[in-house]
Amino acid sequence: MQSWRRRKSLWLALSASWLLLVLLGGFSLLRLALPPRPQPGASQGWPRWLDAELLQSFSQPRELPEDTASPPQAPHGGSCNWEACFDTSKCRGDGLKVFVYPAVGPISETHRRILASIEGSRFHTFSPAGACLLLLLSLDAQTGECSSMPLQWNRGRNHLVLRLYPAACPRTFQLGQAMVAEASPTVDSFRPGFDVALPFLPEAHPLRGGAPGQLRQHSPQPGVALLALEEERGGWRTADTGSSACPWDGRCEQDPGPGQTQHQETLPNATFCLISGHRPEAASRFLQALQVLAALQEMSPARVLALRQQTQFLWDAYFSSVEKVIHTTLEVIQDRIFGTSAHPSLLWNSPPGALLALSTFSTSPQDFPFYHLQQGSRPEGRFSALIWVAPPGQPPLKLIQAVAGSQHCAQILVLWSNERPLPSRWPETAVPLTVIDGHRKVSDRFYPYSTIRTDAILSLDARSSLSTSEVDFAFLVWQSFPERMVGFLTLSHFWDEAHGGWGYTAERTNEFSMVLTTAAFYHRYYHTLFTHSLPKALRTLADEAPTCVDVLMNFIVAAVTKLPPIKVPYGKQRQEAAPLAPGGPGPRSKPQAPAPDCINQLAAAFGHMPLLSSCLRLDPVLFKDPVSVQRKKYRSLEKP
């Protein structure tokens, strides 16, 4: 009985297993028997041809020689391009020289500003014969007068017609081969690579300087509206991040309603502004704006941050004054003339911009002080000392020894700017010493001598006194900040209420905005800027008032970097005994603030006050710390 029951259970188990086997196996067999149809959703792709190997190439080698059959012929078309319509042979030698046709009759304020900005530029020439670009300010709508064809017109060859107001005058003559620079050109008439598109210049646009960008904060604040839409009559509507329910291809039927939008008269505090090329018809435009909004919300914060900063850079570098707009136009044309030695794209598109990074200095970004990070390069590990010997002038033997003692010193240049004859003997130094005979002008100190072989210059006055360790430490600091000036003694500027102007002082204060160039490290590029970019009038100003040259150099560097200089520690005792202030040979000449007018003249010439104040000094890490002197690398800096 028990065995039967056991057998029964065994049979049961067996049959259950069979059933399972049949079921599972059946499915598998079924699957083998019926090959699967490609599922409708699955991607088919381009077929792999069995005979793909046999396909012929699109071009048979035999075909190529037929090219010879036809004579080379420049393709012809209706309009101009750069090669066909601009004669660069006139620009050889001096590069771009611009002649401006004098204005006829009364001119508008904008017109006057444009003329002034061209005449103040390094491109300007008074002779039409020597010019390679002839500039015609055209068709001034304000006066209602239309200019007639100028004398040297020559079918417009090498001419630039600057149009401030679109087609205000009927065309009195054919433009021919002339380039046109105007605001909002139409896509049909604009010739890329030949014409120049300008921003619209308002009446009140300042001649030079110009207001800086209004961005005070890198990143958008939480709660600020995302998008503002330009409306008719110059108003703005804003939308915040919540109101983006519209899908891209759907139609937004609902009116956004007053709750989600605000109407503003002034420029709104929004992250994006939607500017319509056509006349905005408020309602439908707004719906489109919402679609844009959806796309904008996809954008990563990193990209928004980058875009915000780039707007500010572009505004400040190329748009904020009439002078910048005009100089940018000329720089664009000069780049076309230069060809291979034009500005690389990086120089146009990152601070400080192409107007301040001269392509005549170099076309390799790593030669400039600004682009080391983007290039993955590092500033050079050595410097050149440039010692200026002004009258009465003794050979600065001690100074030469101290500087030559630095392991980073590559060469010493002595600029002999003195009535006395050159000394025949100079001290033996480990590094090469070169003597340059100067012309006794202060501006000589900042000439880009070809003998300077390093990026870093240590500018010195023969009466300066520095120790080797001071030089070493300051140079290391400069390597961290190659675009700034690193100096030992400082000046600070201030607004003088009493005189209603700027003033500056050498007195010790809690802040400073300039370093003295009689002992400072800076990049050799600033010599090029000083000599080739600065208006000649300012260099003359420096020659006439030598104390002004420090201020001028600091102005240049601050205008380029938009950063204050850096101060490093300087031996206190000597500081009291022999001030580094230029032109003060006396042992205790009160740090003077002579020619207070200098700073005001410069501020006027720059169009704004570029100087910025700093409240810090960079010291060695263990400077005056309560720790054994043996541990300190720059212990001599602490000696009383």
Residues 379-438 that bind another protein (CB under 8 A): none
Residues in 550-589 at the binding interface with another protein, rule: CB under 8 A: 561-564, 567-568, 572
Q: Pull the structure tokens for residue 516.
A: 């003295």
The verdict on 273 binding another protein (CB under 8 A) reads no
Nearest distance, CB of residue 44 and another protein, angstroms: 5
Stretch that binds another protein, among 141-149, 261-269, 341-349, 431-439 (CB under 8 A): 341-349
Binders of another protein in range 343-362 (CB under 8 A) = 344-345, 349-351, 362
Q: Closer CB to another protein, residue 435 or residue 618?
A: 618
> CB 77 → another protein: shortest distance, Å?
3
Binding mask 97-136 for another protein (x = CB under 8 A): ----------------------------------------
Residue with Cβ nearer another protein (105 or 339)? 339
Whether 244 and 293 have beta carbons less than 8 Å apart is answered as yes
Kindly provide the b/e burial profile for residues 279-302, where b requires at least 16 CB atoms within 10 angstroms of the residue's own CB: ebeeeebbeebbbbbeebeeeeee
- The answer to whether residue 203 forms part of the interface with another protein (CB under 8 A) is no
Q: In terms of CB distance, is 47 or 421 closer to another protein? A: 47
Handedness of CA 173, 176, 181, 182 (dihedral sign): positive
Residue 270 in the binding site for another protein (CB under 8 A): no
Segment near another protein (CB under 8 A); pick from 28-36, 101-109, 166-174, 592-600: 28-36
Stretch in the footprint of another protein (CB under 8 A) among 456-464, 526-534, 595-603, 620-628: 620-628
Q: Does 315 bind another protein (CB under 8 A)?
A: no
- Conformational region of residue 440, where left means phi above 0, alpha means psi within -120 to 50, and beta covers everything else: left
Residue 143 CB burial class (10 angstroms; 0-12, 13-18, ≥19): middle
Give the nearer residue to another protein in terms of CB position, either 135 or 225.
225
Segments of 149-252 assigned E as strands: 159-163, 179-183, 196-198, 225-230, 236-239
Binding residues among 232-251 for another protein as defined by CB under 8 A: 247-249
Q: What is the edge-to-edge ordering of all strands in the sheet holding 179-183? A: 98-100, 133-138, 159-163, 179-183, 196-198
Which residues on neighbouring strands pair with residue 503, listed in sequence order? Answer: 494
Asked if 476 contacts 382 with a C-beta cutoff of 8 angstroms, the reply is no
Query: How many C-beta neighbours within 10 Å does residue 534 have?
Result: 19
Handedness of CA 301, 303, 307, 310 (dihedral sign): positive
Q: Does 510 interact with another protein (rule: CB under 8 A)?
A: yes
The tokens describing 134, both together, are: 């002839």
Residue 633 touches another protein, criterion: CB under 8 A = yes
Chosen residue from 1, 5, 34, 61 binding another protein by CB under 8 A: 61
Smallest gap from Cβ 229 to another protein, in A, equals 17
Give the one residue of 4, 5, 46, 500 binding another protein; rule: CB under 8 A: 46
Active site positions, annotated? 550
Token pair listed for 18: 């069979």
Please provide the DSSP assignment of 176-202 as one string.
TT-EEEEES--TTT--TTTSEEE----
* Nearest distance in Å: CB 381, another protein: 14
To another protein, the closest distance from the beta carbon of 483 in angstroms equals 9
